A and B are shown apart, each in its own frame.
Chain A
Amino acid sequence: MSEYSVVGQKVTRVDAVEKVTGAAQYGADVHPPGMLYGKIVRSKHAHANIRSIDTSEAEKLPGVRAIITQDDVPSGRRVFATDKVLYLGEPLAAVAATDPDIAEEAAELIKIDYEVLPVVQDVMESIKPSAPRLHGDDTKDGPNRREITGQIRELSRDKENDHSDAISKLEAELEKYADEVYYNISAESHSEAGDVEKGFAECDIVVEDTYVIPRVHQTYMEPHVSVASADSSGKVTVWASTQGPFAIRSGIAGTLGIPLTQINVIGTTMGGGFGGRFGVIITHVPAVLLSQKSGRPVRVQMTREEEFIDGRPAPGCVIKLKTGATKDGRILARQALAFWDSGSVSGASIGSTIRVRGVYKIPNLKIDAYGVHTNKSGTAAYRAPGAPQAIFAGESQLDEIAERIGMDPVKFRLMNMREEGDKVPAGGEEPKVGYKETLEAVADAAGWWDREADENQGWGVAVGDWTNGCGPGGVYVSVHEDGSVRIFHGSMDITGTDTAITQIIAEILTVPYESVTIRRGDTDSAPYSTGSGGSVVTFTMGNTAKLAAEDAHQRVLELASERLNANVENLELREGAVHIVSADPPKSISLGELAAYSLSTTGGPIVGKGSFARQPSTPALAAQIAKVEVDPETGRTRVLKLVASQDVGFAINPMAVEGQIEGGTVQGYAWAMMEEMQYNENGNVNPGFVDYRVPTSADLPTVESVIVEVPAPNGPYGAKGVGEPPITPTLATMANAVKDAIGVRINELPIKPEKVVDALKSNGH
């Protein structure tokens, strides 16, 4: 079928053997001679003033080699809390010792004197003027209270359909504070298209609901770790478990005031990231400081509990959403008001609220979003940051409208989807995207059109969109005398991207995949590379690799032209040799011979260089259908079928692409049904796998993946980023299936058994 011989094939990944034999080296496997073990001393309270930190007892413990606090940060940039802690687990100091158990003992010997303060964990509580303030008067200039209450009042008009009264209660509460100012709002984002008021007025049906999405942890299996070694010349080497070594280099330089060239970051094999492995302060900076102070290499490795209390998880949020449609099924207006829980620092992906618009023609749209402080750690990206939350609200509400107007949910979506050439809200025109193809593909594969459901069974559908990012990257390609090809670059492999790069270069140089090897350099040696997040790698590094291979290809033809006495235009590279087109008898020279010849030329060896920064990509759609069975006695939901299709542009390695679809879908399933970081006035209360349940193989059936290929004009071979889209629709897919099964909608995730039982009870069961 394929016109290609290497791309588009299910090749064995380049890292296959090292991954199944235990040879792959992850961060915690690095052990330089003389290495010490670091331990971070953490706050035991969720909100407290710090009166004093006493390290004297810990210093006396044999084996302790360094203790650091904020006083040891020469740049003064905040690494450790000093006078106030804002969440349970916030770092206050760090210890390095000759043994991990000694480091832990020493950490416990450091005495912290706390003055405990009132705590706020719920965004809807935190936006009240009476809430405990996290940052003193710092956020006084946040948006004015009157404007927010106005929006809330407007959105709260339709009380009939509101399954949650949080917003209306809040409205009443806010009336008491007419002249006060909000303190815990960290950020805001607003956008508008058309005229929502006019739009809603023209609608036959208006539905309004409040959706509550919990904070969840990326739960990469490898906890954060770094090993730092500062030598006497001031040179700092950091083995970092990270998605972006170059970002870590600049982060350390900026935080500690060390020149870039004095820092070498070596990216170790990454044990999962999902967006959560970009942070600099978490382990890398403390490791460097401890190494500088002790004069020894130091490893700082988080435990799983530390991951939960001081990781940077995905933000939870409360989204009030209102959608209006005509009775013949046209969506005319949508309005959202969202409060994102950004924890103790700003940075939650509040701008993603715009994703409630989905992939539909909605002429009138208004979005208002706020980031709100609570006594939790800060947040970070998690696979399509912000999109699963917003799309959960948007796609759940679409089903409610479809039901009221009596339309099939798939047909309703197909009818409203944007088409090529449509105006895009952000400006410009809609490119060619397989929105309808992808939804139709999943409906066909799942058997949607002749679906059957026994008692307590139900079907749910949802779609989600995401567009891959882009960023700078560089790749070198060398051709050797034996005809083998070597790639050199600096981007972290994110579960198969090194393989995709290798396939692209093998394709262009027409050599067997097996004769191409790929090496990653550290930040001292490799050309700059953007971080491996945002589904950028195959798109960015794939394009970069293509340019490098084409550059090498050009040099190969020049060399062959000299050797074969033929014009470049009459030459063709195929099957690893350059041939004179239509020569009789055939005349050719192999890549290996050309590489050997190149060493004695004035032009030199065959080295191709690719350097690339950005091109716009096109959106990728993920469409999913679930069939579930709910036990009304226990409230337990069992998945009977889960089918996921995705427009991937072009699947460079279909096996890896399927893996991304399956893995992302299961993460979405878990967010819908199982996962939730829980907090009380003491902080996070479920920091482990017993209380924070992630799915095991026993929780799910096989995920059926369906690849749809509508090429992206600027992607390598038409490829789009595939990692993030599959998590975006699953939250709503599951909620819609449960609603179909039990007849009651649950808008507060996760849909745990007790919520199902409560929902059934409140519905008269």
Chain B
Amino acid sequence: MAKHPVALTVNGDEHDLLIEPRKTLLAVLRDTIGLTGTKEGCSTGDCGACTVIVDGKAVTSCMVLGVTVSGKEITTIEGLASDGELHPVQQAFIDTGGYQCGFCTPGFIMASKVLIDEDPDRSEEEFRHALGGNICRCTGYTKILEAVLKAAKQIRTST
């Protein structure tokens, strides 16, 4: 199948790639660039495990074709910590026990980061609904919500 040139920025690094039009952004990140922190849980956009940030918005990368993100800035779970410091959302997931098997965790952290960036003043109920596109099978969500509320509070008070 013919390949198309795609130029995109991932976690600050520029990539000039040739990719088949049928490849999803998830496949480009995992198989072409080798960033495997983003997970594939369903390939149908239902579980949120593949959530990444594209130009500031949370996106399920299994539902986006790689050829459509040329010129865009993408952040994956690998790009969240900076200067050896975990992002407050990552730290909050550790502190509250907001992960167990960890497979859904990258997607939850990316989705939570965007939600907190948009509005850190959301209530628990609002966060519960806003995170409804991400599935976790281990935690029952109690400690994930604790993590998100803790991170939101920290980000709110530090800005």
- A interface residues, Cβ below 8 angstroms from B: 10, 12-13, 15-26, 28-29, 31, 100-101, 218-223, 269-274, 303-304, 495-496, 655-656, 658-659, 662-667, 688-690, 694-698, 700, 702-703, 705
Contact = CB atoms under 8 A, between A and B. Distances in A.
A234 B152 CA distance: 54
B61 interface: no
Nearest to B91: A20
Contacts of A689: 42, 44, 46-47, 135
Interface string B119-136: 000001001110111111
B99 A19 contact: yes
Interface in B6-36: 20, 22-23, 27, 30-31, 34-36
A271 B97 contact: no
Nearest to B99: A19
Given A19-B99, A20-B105, A658-B143, 5 more contacts: A16-B94, A21-B81, A21-B86, A662-B141, A698-B129
A698 B38 CA distance: 23
B138 A702 contact: no
B46 A271 contact: no
Contact of A696 (B44, B97, B132): B132
Contacts of A19: 99, 102, 105
B41 A662 contact: no
A21 B46 contact: no
A221 B43 CA distance: 12
Contacts of B95: 12
Contacts of B134: 696-697
Contacts of B143: 655, 658-659, 662
A304 B42 contact: yes
A20 B144 CA distance: 12
A17 B39 contact: no
26 contacts: A12-B94, A17-B94, A20-B77, A21-B78, A22-B35, A22-B78, A22-B106, A24-B102, A31-B36, A100-B27, A221-B49, A221-B104, A222-B41, A223-B40, A269-B101, A271-B101, A271-B102, A272-B137, A304-B43, A496-B100, A659-B100, A659-B138, A663-B137, A663-B139, A690-B46, A703-B142
A63 B105 CA distance: 35
Contacts of A664: 140
A15 B124 CA distance: 27
Contacts of B124: 702
Given A304-B41, A689-B42, A698-B128, A667 B137 contact: yes
A269 B101 CA distance: 8
Contact of A697 (B20, B102, B106, B128): B128
B133 A220 contact: no
B109 interface: yes
B97 A270 contact: no
Counting chain B CB atoms within 10 Å of each CB, the highest count among A100, A659, A688, A705 belongs to A659
Contact of A28 (B22, B36, B42): B36
Given A221-B49, A700-B141, A28 B20 contact: no
A221 B38 contact: no
A62 to B, nearest CB: 11
Given A220-B101, A221-B47, A690-B44, A21 B137 contact: no
A697 B131 contact: yes
Which one of B95, B131, B140 has the highest number of Cβ atoms from chain A below 10 Å of its Cβ?
Answer: B140
Contact of B41 (A17, A29, A223): A223
Nearest to A219: B137
B106 to A, nearest CB: 5
A272 B105 CA distance: 12
Contacts of B81: 21
B41 A22 contact: no
B64 interface: no
Contacts of A22: 35-38, 76-78, 106
Nearest to B44: A688
A664 B140 CA distance: 7
Nearest to A655: B97
Contacts of B37: 21-23
Contacts of A666: 139-141
Contacts of A495: 100-101, 138
Which 10 pairs across A and B sit closest by C-beta, in order of nearness? A22-B37, A271-B103, A666-B140, A19-B102, A689-B46, A22-B77, A698-B132, A495-B100, A29-B36, A662-B140
Contact of A222 (B39, B44, B106, B141): B39
Contact of B135 (A303, A496, A656, A696): A696
Nearest to A494: B101
A25 B103 CA distance: 10
In the complex, which of the residues A22, A496, A656 has the most CB atoms of chain B within 10 Å of its own CB atom?
A: A22
B140 A221 contact: no
Contacts of A695: 141
Contacts of B54: none
Which of B43, B103, B109 gathers most chain A CB within 10 Å?
B103
Given A272-B103, A663-B140, A688 B42 contact: yes
A274 B80 CA distance: 30
A705 B22 CA distance: 46
A218 B138 CA distance: 10
Contacts of B136: 221, 697
B140 A21 contact: no
Interface string B84-101: 001000110111110111
A15 B101 CA distance: 10
A662 B142 contact: yes
Nearest to B42: A304
Contacts of B77: 20-22
A690 B137 CA distance: 16
Contacts of B104: 221
B40 A28 contact: yes
B145 interface: yes
Contacts of B105: 19-20
